[in-house]
Amino acid sequence: MLTGFAHAAVCVPDLEAAVTWYADVLGLRVLSPPYRMEGSQIEQDMGELVPSPVVVNAAIVGFGMDDRVIELIEYPAASVAPAGPGRPSVTRVGLTHVGVLCDDVEATRSVLESRGVEFLTSGIADVAGLKTTWCRDPWGTVLILMEKREEERPYWRQLLP
């Protein structure tokens, strides 16, 4: 049976640029630097999902050495559509956003704004025991930044007894 979460995958058109952005702008650690997978094993794994030849460039970024990470993926041999113009949609089917915890959402937003991060909301909300604000990476992936009221509780239990 299922035992836990491993990662959220974000498809990007330029892996090196994405690794730099997630590390330098957001401050995530590069846990596994960019690597390339191709050949029979990755063909067997993804050959029904990605046009052949299956070539995957990937890197793992996160905050610690655990299974809750972001996997940045580039498919250099496949035709991957870039993010469209305008605002991203969090109501489309598929990955809609990645939640990231921070200790001070106001200070974090200020720092990220100074680094040119595009925010999708004009301010900070206080909802379900969390302070939240929404932004996106340069390729359109939506991120919600969340500050917990009670650090010892999971983000989703902030208002529960």
| Global model pTM greater than 0.85 | no
**Encoding tokens for residue 102?**
């921070």
Rounded Cα gap, residues 116 and 138, in angstroms: 10
Residue 101's nearest CA partner among 156, 51, 145, 36 is 145
Rounded Cα gap, residues 57 and 104, in angstroms: 33
Rounded Cα gap, residues 14 and 75, in angstroms: 9
Task: Give the mean pLDDT of the chain.
Answer: 89
Rounded Cα gap, residues 74 and 72, in angstroms: 7
**Encoding tokens for residue 41?**
């094993």
- In tens, the pLDDT along 102-157 reads 999 999 999 999 999 999 999 999 988 899 999 999 988 999 999 999 988 888 88
What pLDDT score does 62 carry? Answer: 95
Rounded Cα gap, residues 8 and 132, in angstroms: 20
